[in-house]
Amino acid sequence: MLYFPFHPMLDRAMPIRSLAFTAALFLSSPALAADAPATPSAIVAQAPAGAWRPIAPDALLVMTVEGGKRVVIQLAPDFAPAHVANIRALARAGWWDGESVYRVQDNYVAQWGDATEKKALPPGIAANIVPDYVRPLATLKGAAVPLPYPDAYAPRTGFIDGWPVAMDETSAWLPHCYAMVGVARNLSPDAGTGAELYAVIGQAPRQLDRNIALVGRVIEGIGLLASLPRGSGDLGFYAAGERRLPILSVRLASDLPEAQRPRYQAMDVGSRSFADYLRLRANRKDDFYERPAGGVDLCNAPVPVRQAP
Amino acid sequence: MLYFPFHPMLDRAMPIRSLAFTAALFLSSPALAADAPATPSAIVAQAPAGAWRPIAPDALLVMTVEGGKRVVIQLAPDFAPAHVANIRALARAGWWDGESVYRVQDNYVAQWGDATEKKALPPGIAANIVPDYVRPLATLKGAAVPLPYPDAYAPRTGFIDGWPVAMDETSAWLPHCYAMVGVARNLSPDAGTGAELYAVIGQAPRQLDRNIALVGRVIEGIGLLASLPRGSGDLGFYAAGERRLPILSVRLASDLPEAQRPRYQAMDVGSRSFADYLRLRANRKDDFYERPAGGVDLCNAPVPVRQAP
């Protein structure tokens, strides 16, 4: 007797090494194999190569922390061009090397950069970026794939070019979902430089949408950031005597030797596989679920991302 | 220059030791002191004694883990009477003493109980609880306080008797918000006994609502559970060689000596303070927020809970 809060094969994206197992499970069942896969995980496991889009190496930020552990962030240049330009320049200058994760607030954010707040920025870093949290739909690549369920924060939600988006009639903005990465800032109208970054590690703090710049998402290693000890200082800053996590280096994948580059793909949000995935995220109908929800929150339907096979 | 992803005084419930500081900040500003407090945290800090309701000692489950650290769970007997009866009996029998937290899956759950799945249950534990995830509104205490924003999972949401609820016209159920505690179970129609429990440590997995029994919420120590190392086994179970967190004891506060009992209060959801809190959670209008959301998700407006002063 093994107790789960859900059936093992039927929830969340499986870790990569389990995908083959998941596929085998379904293929081994003639009744199931004849139908479309019945779970989001199975959809992801069986998505054809054409349902995946490579992530450009200069949109992958590789942060190596103590012990050689790796956090990989996908940048969103189309949504935050000025901040992403700064972040690329900071990575190329090695600015974060030797810095730290210095703040972890439970159910909120892990934040990193220069804890002393005194380290000079390299030349060429824009220091007074005009807030540009909202992007005209016409400037973004590809059509919006709507998520047809109500949202407490925005008139519409959906997906564009591999990203979750909140939208109104003419524009789109990135939402503060789990693992999204943003630019810490002081009071407005300062929009921050991108030197101090945070990742969401709890319930989506969507009240921050359109108030602070989001620049990407953690696609590898969010569990490492989310499991750091919480800081006991105000707002989760590490207090004296609490140990900050050392950052060894931060580099763009495109600046790493070919053999060391992580290679990732995101699911094409215009693909049939993604449509099936969304439908099943909103309507679980396998053995475990007696009562499908009939809907899913934007932040509870993360775009599948995988290492290139 | 201190960078925040938000202004320090203007987000999340403050840790208790900061409340006085927050209040002082506002009182020191004549312009602000003349108005109602402008942030949810300030509302909580300034709520009068009459806005708080004590939590009964037999609804507080005190879990002591390695190092003497404490996790306190508020039970919800009106929402899950059969499971809460089991949980009280298991605590009185000392059933969890010496067991462990044996599963931590990132952005999902931490789960505890008997990892061997072989430990006999004490006499009197109901083993075949008929699933009763949904409660008729007429059986619950107090009127529903509506949250007037759309939800992807339920026709209506709000708060009843100190708890967040999803609702239809005639009934209510607890939602899978951050820190909510549920009963791990096998495949349906088994509803689980309550011996194996989990707490939500990520984005609200609301698809589980009405599919699995929720029995309460962690009101102290959720950061401890959420910062445990993630298990590398499938679904976050700790694999061989990974260390489970030892549970020293689990007791009802009512069974502890008076001096050792934690004493907690939840905000009265019918109070003026709670109405103000909700309004400001949905409409941040302080220096940091340029653009109030005009809405808030059910799981992003946790009912304030505090230690009794």
Per-residue pLDDT of chain B (309 residues; tens, 9 = 90+): 334 444 333 333 322 223 333 333 333 333 333 355 689 999 999 999 999 999 999 999 999 999 999 999 999 999 999 999 999 999 999 999 999 999 999 999 999 999 987 899 999 998 888 888 999 999 999 999 999 999 999 999 999 999 999 999 999 999 999 999 999 987 765 679 999 999 999 999 999 999 999 999 999 999 999 999 999 999 999 999 999 999 999 999 999 999 999 999 999 999 999 999 999 999 987 777 888 999 999 999 999 999 999
CATH number of A54-132+178-264: 2.60.40.10, 3.40.50.261, 2.40.100.10, 1.10.287.610? 2.40.100.10
d(CA A168, CA A159): 13
Instruction: Let me know: does A33 contact A26? Beta carbons within 8 Å.
Output: yes
Query: What pLDDT is attached to residue A191?
Result: 76
Query: What pLDDT is attached to residue A36?
Result: 53
d(CA B39, CA B37): 6
State which residues of chain A have pLDDT below 50. Answer: 1-34
CA A293 to chain B, closest CA, distance in angstroms equals 6
CA B89 to chain A, closest CA, distance in angstroms equals 19
Using alpha carbons, select from A294, A222, A302 the residue that is nearest to residue A41: A302
Instruction: Let me know: does A169 contact A290? Beta carbons within 8 Å.
Output: no
Instruction: Let me know: does A222 contact A13? Beta carbons within 8 Å.
Output: no
Which residues on adjacent β-strands are paired with residue B64?
B70, B249
- CB contacts of B177 in chain A (<8 Å) are 203
User: B114 — contact with chain A (CB < 8 Å)?
Assistant: no
Q: Which helix (H) or strand (E) holds A173?
A: strand A171-173
User: B283 — contact with chain A (CB < 8 Å)?
Assistant: no
User: A304 — contact with chain B (CB < 8 Å)?
Assistant: no
Using alpha carbons, select from A99, A111, A132, A29 the residue that is nearest to residue A249: A99
- CB contacts of B179 in chain A (<8 Å) are 107
Residue A222: phi, psi to the nearest 5? Answer: -65, -30
Say if the Cβ atoms of B205 and A234 lie within 8 Å: no
Mutate to test the interface with A, among B6, B83, B151, B230 (most CBs of A within 10 A): B6
Are β-strands B109-113 and A69-75 bridged in parallel, bridged antiparallel, or unpaired?
Answer: unpaired
Query: What pLDDT is attached to residue B23?
Result: 32
Query: What pLDDT is attached to residue A131?
Result: 83
Taking phi over 0 as left and psi of -120 to 50 as alpha, with beta for the rest, B170 belongs to: alpha
Query: What pLDDT is attached to residue B50?
Result: 98
Which residues on adjacent β-strands are paired with residue B104?
B110
Dihedral, B128, B131, B135, B141 alpha carbons, nearest 10 = 30
3-state SS, residue B53: strand
Instruction: Let me know: does A243 contact A252? Beta carbons within 8 Å.
Output: no
Strand order in the sheet with B163-167: B135-136, B171-173, B163-167, B156-160, B145-146
Dihedral, A152, A154, A159, A164 alpha carbons, nearest 10 = -70
Query: For chain B, what are the domain ranges?
Result: 16-52+272-307
- CB contacts of A202 in chain B (<8 Å) are 178, 202-203, 226
Name every residue whose Cβ is closer than 8 Å to that of residue A196 and which is 6 or more positions away in sequence. A111, A112, A113, A114, A183, A184, B3
d(CA B104, CA B227): 9
| Beta-carbon count within 10 A of B291 CB | 17
d(CA A88, CA A152): 34
Mutate to test the interface with B, among A4, A176, A178, A288 (most CBs of B within 10 A): A4
Which residue from A minimizes the CA distance to B214?
A5
Query: What pLDDT is attached to residue B36?
Result: 52
Query: What pLDDT is attached to residue A25?
Result: 33
Which residue from B minimizes the CA distance to A108?
B12
Query: What pLDDT is attached to residue B127?
Result: 86
| Beta-carbon count within 10 A of B131 CB | 18
Q: What share of chain A is helix, strand, coil (3-state, %, to 5)?
A: 25, 25, 50
Dihedral, A116, A119, A124, A126 alpha carbons, nearest 10 = 20
Name every residue whose Cβ is closer than 8 Å to that of residue B289 and which is 6 or more positions away in sequence. A207, A211, B10
CA A173 from chain center: how many Å?
A: 14
Query: What pLDDT is attached to residue B38?
Result: 85
User: A225 — contact with chain B (CB < 8 Å)?
Assistant: no
Q: Is B155 exposed, middle or buried (0-12, 13-18, 19+ CB in 10 A)?
A: exposed
**Tokens 């499971």, residue located:** B83
3-state SS, residue A285: coil
